[in-house]
Amino acid sequence: MRWAKYAGRDVIPLWVADMDFSAPPEVVDALQRRIASGLFGYGQPWPSLVEAVLEHCASEYAWTVEPDWLVWLPGLVSGLHVACRAVGDREHGGDGVFTATPVYPPFLSAPVESGRRLLTLPLVATESGWGWDFAAADALMRAARLFLLCHPHNPVGRAWREDELWQLAALAEKHDLVVCSDEIHCDLTFAGRHRPFATLSPEIAARTITLMAPSKTFNLAGLGCAFAIIPDSRLRAAFRAALHGIVPHVNALGLVACEAAYRHGAAWRRQLIDTLRAHAARVEQVVDGLPGLSMTSVEATFLAWIDCRGLGVEHPAALFERHGVGVSDGAAFGPGPAYAQYVRLNFGTTRALLDAALERIRTACGSP
Ligand SMILES: Cc1ncc(COP(=O)(O)O)c(C=O)c1O
């Protein structure tokens, strides 16, 4: 999808969030073995796969997950929609769904398409990075039933600190919110360990739907395999009821890739993170040197959120595209035109392509 958009044009495609790196060889081997069986009937998660997921949660996040907390999904976007349908009701204009912008666009569309009322709060940009206006969140959450949290946050690249998570948790408890925490980027944090929102306390776990997948980390998005972790049985039953008959089973190859990635992908992932950290530093260095552009430092993901307001150009994404770099248009990441002068750049590509793209951006900005 990413490359097809600009087929036949000299545009380096750094938009949708997948990478130019082959999946770990152990994943490719496992898939080839599975394909060699020639049998592709209905699949379902098997015990060693479930064990691989639970072991990953235990070793990476010190989180003891029970097997029956898992609900398998073909993708996280499905999970966001199902969460919106499972929590609250459509009566009286629909219950409110709270989220903070700029944010991955399905956070904005899923509530609306599910008949809910979208409540958005802008994150605040400071010298040290993007953060929360907790007082404003408190006020807005009054009308909400569900909180869609992006952790780490796409597109601003923040891996929320524990103190920030605790403040959000306190607000979720105060307003009796269900929290759907999209943690798809959690294995791509550059420093320290990821802290799942649900691990803050058993009470928080009981109101949380955590969405995870191996897809971003191991470049498996096209295989469609993800899962929700829902410790509370009532919430889990509501989630299952909302997806029943609509959301398909995960395909057999996605499940195979998931097990192989979690079991054998650790060394590959460490190397990937070193590469991404270096790429992030390169993007930051170039952006810092370009008058009119700015960004805060990336703590996780392979995405850079670049503020282009200083360029004085109405539509920076179109400008960069004309100069041969296809970035995501910031306008899609918030309501109205709030982020039209921002772009999101995917640096999950080779160093050569990244350098070429940054050179083109430099030219687009009129810098020699
Ligand atoms: C925060 C976030 N959630 C979900 C997705 C997509 O998930 P899926 O492809 O599993 O639907 C992305 C993809 O970029 C993402 O960044």
Among the three residues 207, 241, 264, which one is the final residue of a domain in this structure?
264
Q: Is 76 in the pocket of ligand 1 (CB under 6 A)?
A: yes
Q: Which residues pair with 307 in a beta bridge?
A: 294, 342
Question: Beta strands 117-122 and 96-101: pairing type?
Answer: parallel
pLDDT at 291: 93
DSSP output for 30-87: HHHHHHHT---------HHHHHHHHHHHHHHH-----GGGEEEES-HHHHHHHHHHHS
**74 touches 215 (CB < 8 A):** no
153 and 276 within one domain: no
Domain of 67 in residue numbering reads as: 25-264
pLDDT at 128: 80
pLDDT at 19: 98
Residues 6+ away with beta carbon under 8 Å from 221: 17, 18, 215
pLDDT at 92: 59
14 and 77 within one domain: no
Among the three residues 219, 243, 264, which one is the final residue of a domain in this structure?
264
292 and 149 within one domain: no
161 and 103 within one domain: yes
pLDDT digits (tens, 9 = 90+) for 183-214: 999 999 999 999 999 999 999 999 999 999 99
CATH of the domain at 9: 3.90.1150.10
277 and 213 within one domain: no
Q: Which atom of ligand 1 lies at the shortest distance from residue 18's CA?
A: 14
61 and 177 within one domain: yes
CA distance 82 to 80: 6
Q: Is 77 in the pocket of ligand 1 (CB under 6 A)?
A: yes
Residues of the chain with confidence (pLDDT) below 70: 90-94, 367-368
CA distance 349 to 326: 13
Q: Is 180 in the pocket of ligand 1 (CB under 6 A)?
A: no
283 and 140 within one domain: no
234 and 162 within one domain: yes
Q: For residue 93, with 0-12 CB atoms within 10 Å meaning exposed, 13-18 middle and 19 or more buried, which class applies?
A: exposed
Q: Per the structure, how many domains does the chain have?
A: 2
Q: Which atom of ligand 1 lies at the shortest distance from residue 215's CA?
A: 10
Q: Which residues pair with 177 in a beta bridge?
A: none
272 and 256 within one domain: no
* Ligand 1 atom 9 nearest Cα: 75
CA distance 208 to 235: 8
Ligand 1 centroid–CA 182 distance in Å is 8
166 and 91 within one domain: yes
